[in-house]
């Protein structure tokens, strides 16, 4: 499910992100070059289970026809890690030898969503589905101060799902089909743009229900064991997503209440 690439050339650290994602040139099994932005397993700012969350969210987004870049497993070898010029980063990449999460670099011209951008009417449907997706995966990290969303024309690109499934970290987890379970979406980057509008989630619901339990199990099985925070986290996410499919009507009700 997650194609394997080998890192061949270090290019640079991307922006000022907390986890210092790196632009790497990689090679696929056919020997073709692919440019990816990689999240390093050995980075001290990557939360336990963060790469698992990135991967499951991306696989789910692809099945839901939501706009994410193709996700990959990125193999880093010691010889590659040793080529990184900056000593601090080199040490982190040396600690990340093995499998890391990466996604394809987006097209030139793609821009981070500005906090004051007014979306065109044509984009409202996409925004609504992103809002529902973040509710579903319990992702509190697409906010005004950190949009984690880019765009090119009317097309969105979603990225950074490291904080998804965050309710597993809560002391008292609240499921999104119960009252208050989606309260965190009040800080969502699209909350104000969507407020008071009509919810059009039939396509999203159909796509979600079509995924099925077996497919969700496949996501979890395809993820390298070293990306799990704890051995049981993958299983918990699997059960949670299966429950979400069954309870999506309830999630819709909570989304309607919120908006």
Which C-beta is closer to ligand ATP: that of 36 or that of 64? 36
What minimum distance in Å lies between the beta carbon of 13 and ligand ATP?
Answer: 9
- Tell whether residue 162 is a contact of Mg ion (CB under 5 A): no
Interface mask (CB under 5 A) for Mg ion, residues 198-227, using x and -?
A: ------------------------------
What minimum distance in Å lies between the beta carbon of 74 and ligand ATP?
Answer: 12
Residues of span 74-133 touching Mg ion by CB under 5 A = none
Residue nearest ligand ATP, CB atom distance:
17
Tokens read off for 58: 């991306």
Task: Provide CB contacts within 8 A for 202, sequence distance 6+.
Answer: none
How many CB atoms sit inside 10 A of residue 251's CB? 23
- Tell whether residue 139 is a contact of Mg ion (CB under 5 A): no
- Tell whether residue 160 is a contact of Mg ion (CB under 5 A): yes
Task: Give backbone dihedrals phi and psi of 194, rounded to 5 degrees, phi first.
Answer: -95, -15
Mapped onto helix, strand or coil, the DSSP state of residue 257 is helix
- Tell whether residue 148 is a contact of Mg ion (CB under 5 A): yes
What minimum distance in Å lies between the beta carbon of 248 and Mg ion?
Answer: 27
Which C-beta is closer to ligand ATP: that of 116 or that of 122? 116
What minimum distance in Å lies between the beta carbon of 156 and Mg ion?
Answer: 15
Angle at 232 between CA 168 and CA 244, to 5 degrees: 50
Q: Any alpha helices (H) in 177-247, and if so which ranges?
A: 191-194, 202-221, 233-246
Contact 159, 103 (CB under 8 A): yes
As a whole number of angstroms, the distance between CA 86 and CA 90 comes to 6
Angle at 90 between CA 84 and CA 94, to 5 degrees: 110
Which C-beta is closer to Mg ion: that of 185 or that of 201? 185
| H/E element, 91 | helix 87-95
Which C-beta is closer to ligand ATP: that of 12 or that of 192? 12
User: Where does this chain bind ligand ATP (CB under 6 A)?
Assistant: 14-15, 17-19, 21, 37, 69, 103, 105-106, 112, 146, 148, 159-160, 162
Residue nearest Mg ion, CB atom distance:
160
Q: Would you tell me which residues interact with Mg ion (CB under 5 A)?
A: 148, 160
């Amino acid at each position: 499910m997650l194609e394997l690439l080998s890192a061949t050339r270090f290019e640079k650290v991307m922006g000022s992100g907390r986890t210092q994602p790196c632009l790497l040139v990689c090679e696929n099994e056919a020997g073709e070059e692919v440019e990816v932005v990689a999240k390093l397993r050995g980075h001290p700012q990557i939360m336990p289970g963060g790469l698992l969350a990135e991967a499951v969210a991306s696989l789910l987004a692809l099945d839901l026809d939501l706009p994410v870049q193709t996700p990959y497993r990125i193999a880093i070898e010691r010889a590659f890690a040793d080529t990184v010029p900056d000593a601090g980063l080199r040490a982190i990449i040396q600690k990340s030898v093995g499998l890391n999460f990466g996604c394809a670099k987006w097209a030139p011209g793609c821009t981070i969503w500005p906090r004051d951008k007014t979306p065109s009417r044509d984009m409202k449907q996409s925004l609504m589905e992103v809002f529902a997706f973040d509710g579903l995966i319990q992702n509190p990290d697409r906010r005004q101060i950190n949009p984690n969303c880019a765009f090119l024309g009317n097309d969105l690109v979603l990225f950074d799902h490291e904080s998804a499934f965050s309710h597993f970290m809560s002391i008292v987890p609240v499921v999104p089909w119960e009252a208050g379970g989606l309260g965190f979406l009040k800080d969502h980057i699209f909350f104000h743009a969507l407020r008071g509008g009509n919810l059009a989630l039939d396509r999203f619901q159909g796509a979600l229900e079509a995924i099925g339990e077996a497919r969700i199990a496949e996501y979890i099985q395809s993820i390298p064991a070293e990306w799990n925070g704890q051995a049981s986290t993958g299983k918990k996410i699997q059960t949670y997503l299966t429950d979400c499919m069954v309870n999506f009507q309830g999630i819709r009700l909570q989304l309607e209440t919120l908006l």
